[in-house]
Structure 1
Amino acid sequence: MSEKQGVLAGFKAFLMRGNVVELAVAVVIGAAFTKIVNSVVEGVINPVVGSIGPKDLERYQFCLQSPCEVTEAGEVVTGITIKWGSVLSASLTFLITAAVVYFLMILPMNKFKERLDAKNAAEAAEAAANPVEKTEVRLLTEIRDALLAQRDGGTAHAAVLASRLGTAESGSRPGSEDRSKS
């Protein structure tokens, strides 16, 4: 029974991975997008090409071995034909699909990534140029210095506390210069 649960847990982990979900979404969007591209080819491209010949690209063909007889439905009765019109139609569909995907999806995504990378690089450069001590470390240093001042009566370490706070803000490590005196 535990092996079955292990297999089901593995299957669930496989399905919930980002790659599988993204792939499923891509297939669904691709199927819907294919209908749009096919309607553009059939409704716009085919009539434009059809203005110089048959309206349907599928009917463009070449007779390789004579005599070629084709019915009105497009079925070859005798002879051997090369249907280059269907290849041209599929090629146009592919080119239109690739162009739309590139210009409407890939190009904007690349621009977005470039902006994001530039922003991240600018933030990283700013962080490297301005190393700020962490707030928690600064607070703990102040607490330590205050406790030292209370332990020794507050007078001897008041000047040390002030100097440490001044040097901590300027970037040196507080507490390292007077460690032997305490």
Structure 2
Amino acid sequence: MKGFKEFLLRGNVIDLAVAVVIGAAFTKVINAFVDGVINPLVGAFGAKDLSAYSSCLKGPCAVDADGKVTSGILILWGSVISAVITFLITAAVVYFVLIVPMKRVMARYKSPAEEAAEAEAKEVALLTEIRDALVRQR
């Protein structure tokens, strides 16, 4: 029991739980943006609902009132394309609305340890170049 308690109270487990909750809440924001802004813009240039596009692979396809296929093999390729487009749009929104601005903010507020690590890496690279130049001169 003690090991389980330590596992649950470790910081990374709690951070993960917080991330899941925040991610679930943020999913609603992203979906609202995609549904309210992006999809209407895409719909202005083409079909807004691609799920109606399908092909019958074998025999005459019949669909009942509930949307279930009663005969034939129905390929719903419009739903797949719609899901791919929705994924790409969502990924683009997350990248350009969250990731890019966050990188800019994080670049402004580097910690002293990160700056020291960058300076040390540059110094090591410079010393390596000097060493290589001296070896070439011999």
Q: What is the letter of the counterpart of residue 99 of structure 1?
A: A
Distance 1:78 1:46 in 2: 34
More helix per residue: 2
Relative to the length of structure 1, the TM-score reads: 0.49
Relative to the length of structure 2, the TM-score reads: 0.60
- Does the 8 Å contact 2:54/2:78 carry over to 1? yes
Distance 1:104 1:27 in 2: 19
The structure number with the bigger radius of gyration is: 1
Greater relative CO (CA pairs within 8 A, separation 6+) = 2
* 1:78 is aligned to 2:65: no
| 2:96 counterpart residue number | 103
Distance 1:104 1:13 in 2: 37
Change (3 A) 1:117 1:38: closer
Distance 2:96 2:10 in 1: 28
| 1:88 counterpart residue number | 81
| 1:115 counterpart residue number | 108
Partner SS state of residue 73, structure 1: coil
Q: What's the % identity of the aligned pairs? A: 55
What is the root-mean-square deviation in Å for CA atoms of aligned residues? 3.3
Q: What is the letter of the counterpart of residue 64 of structure 1?
A: L
Partner SS state of residue 66, structure 2: coil
| 1:26 counterpart residue number | 19
Deviation at 1:42, TM superposition (A): 4.9
Q: How many residues align?
A: 116
Q: Which residues of structure 1 form unaligned runs of 5+?
A: 1-6, 126-182
| 2:60 counterpart residue number | 67
